[in-house]
């Protein structure tokens, strides 16, 4: 049950193995998010991810613990990067282990939906038009709202 915030790249396959080695359950769901190579302003060459050290780690840990209680998870891992990432590099990885697929799917989705709006990271896209901070998307707010949870703490 760990959250890791790091600048270095991670290996999704190694994360999966670590999750399976640590926890036992019949349903395993993982999600990998990568840097999109396009945006409304054109081709994206790189992404800068600023984060709030200390708060980012504690928010992700609290989020994982909260979701684990809600869906009776056997285990979970969250990895989130910060710093400068190139297009198509992995940014975030979430893995959950449960006894049944419904709980595993829902838990992984809830972690990502809440992480998008609550974890203290800020993205700046670099494209041929320069660098631009990305605002919060309305669809992300809607997806977070449907879980019906307040502040994560």
Partner 1 sequence: MFGAIGNGMITVKFFSIIREALEAESLELEWTPALNDIAAVKARLIAQGGAVWNEALNQEDVLMARNHRVVLASEPIADGDELAFFPPMTGG
Strands (DSSP E) contained in the chain are 2-6, 27-34, 38-39, 42-51, 75-81, 83-86, 90-98, 121-127, 130-133
SS3 assignment, position 145? helix
Q: Which residues within the stretch 84-103 sit at the binding site for partner 1 (CB under 8 A)?
A: 91-92
The reply on whether position 21 binds partner 1 by CB under 8 A is no
Min dist. Cβ of residue 57 to partner 1 (A): 9
| Greatest Cα-to-Cα distance within the chain, rounded to the nearest angstrom | 48
Q: For residues 124 and 15, what is the distance between their CA atoms, to the nearest angstrom?
A: 26
Contact with partner 1 (CB under 8 A) among 7, 134, 142, 145: 134
Min dist. Cβ of residue 85 to partner 1 (A): 12
**Residues touching partner 1: how many (CB under 8 A)?**
27
Q: For residues 98 and 104, what is the distance between their CA atoms, to the nearest angstrom?
A: 5
Alpha carbons within 13 A on the beta-carbon side of 127: 17
Q: Which residues within the stretch 25-84 sit at the binding site for partner 1 (CB under 8 A)?
A: 33, 50, 52, 54-55, 58-59, 80
Contact with partner 1 (CB under 8 A) among 15, 74, 119, 127: 119
Contact with partner 1 (CB under 8 A) among 118, 126, 147, 149: 118
- Residues near partner 1 (CB under 8 A) are 33, 50, 52, 54-55, 58-59, 80, 91-92, 112, 115-124, 133-136, 151, 153
């Amino acid at each position: 049950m760990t959250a890791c915030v790091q600048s270095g790249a991670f290996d999704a396959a190694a994360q999966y193995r670590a999750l399976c080695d640590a926890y036992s359950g019949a349903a395993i769901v993982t999600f990998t998010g990568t840097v999109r190579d396009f945006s409304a302003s054109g081709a994206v060459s790189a992404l800068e991810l600023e984060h709030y050290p200390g708060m980012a780690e504690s928010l992700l840990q609290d989020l994982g613990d909260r979701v684990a209680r809600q869906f009776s998870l056997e285990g979970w891992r969250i990895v989130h990067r910060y710093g400068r990432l190139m297009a198509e590099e992995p940014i975030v990885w979430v893995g959950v282990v449960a006894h049944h697929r419904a709980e595993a799917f829902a838990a992984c989705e809830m972690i990502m939906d809440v992480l998008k709006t609550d974890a203290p990271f800020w993205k700046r896209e670099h494209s041929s038009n320069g660098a631009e901070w990305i605002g919060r998307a309305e669809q992300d707010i809607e997806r977070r709202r449907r879980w019906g949870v307040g502040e994560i703490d």
